[in-house]
Structure 1
């Protein structure tokens, strides 16, 4: 009986250690009015070279979770129109991360376009571009760089947790990356983001 108790105690210790090693980083993203910001990029970066490791997008209430077994990393929270915030990644809840408006980045664009709106669909996040600050960025590549859940890595785009996407423009598969540079942001109506990226042009 004592031997069985020892085995159970050992198993409990091992399970506890494994759970700790695979712990989560959780938190909540808020704005200057302490309101949740759901559609932002929360990414884990290598401290040495700031290389992208993994990322996620907060829920509607601003909360997020990143599963990792390394905590010598940096957590970067960013969104168009806000100053990026960097914090030390640590196991458990990092608390509220407040993003402040970035007036220098937006400048004159603020008065010319609205903040882009986002909508969850069965396939992922749809970003409205038409008549927003995103439509003033320049090219299709500039727009994709600011879409939630997407990062640019080694001159190519990557969808968080899904790898390199296929990119469609008006339902047509993009064959050459230069097409994004040739596509003006003001002509993009919306971007649907799931494993594939679908850019719909405004008529």
Structure 2
């Protein structure tokens, strides 16, 4: 489904499960690479923020790829941010990039709301044993070192991947399951950190 335009020639966000969303993925053909240089990426980000007919929102979440480049700097200079959240696996290599992100947001005076530990633990569906595939508590330890909040842990679980591929968020597909509860815990921590709770 492609976004439509309103009477002012602005993109209308798509809505699913009560959440309004806009993405470059909605605007380019599914199999086409987005091989753009910095200026094109900046222009696209500005379009997604300022040329979309957003209704009155409680919260606007900008999901960005990892990095500390043009896109992140443009966003910090274009709008007033309530804060930044950095998501990382517990793996040392991933944490190095995550720390660069934390440092960038601190340098440009964007409040660091905290970090989320993604793919934290895999629980075997046969025996129930916990496997720390990417390491144990790397993000938790890094948060302690950096003096920032750990907002929560998202487990490594096949249902999360399956739900995403099916276009149905885990919090909708199995709202009382442990994976959904992990997502809810992260959102509660975020809401509290920005004064929505």
TM-score tier, shorter chain, comes to under 0.3
> Comparing both structures, which one devotes a greater share of its residues to strand?
1
Normalised TM-score (structure 2): 0.23
Structure 1 or 2, whichever has the larger Rg, is 1
Q: Report 1 or 2 for greater relative contact order, CA contacts < 8 Å, sequence distance ≥ 6.
A: 1
Normalised TM-score (structure 1): 0.23
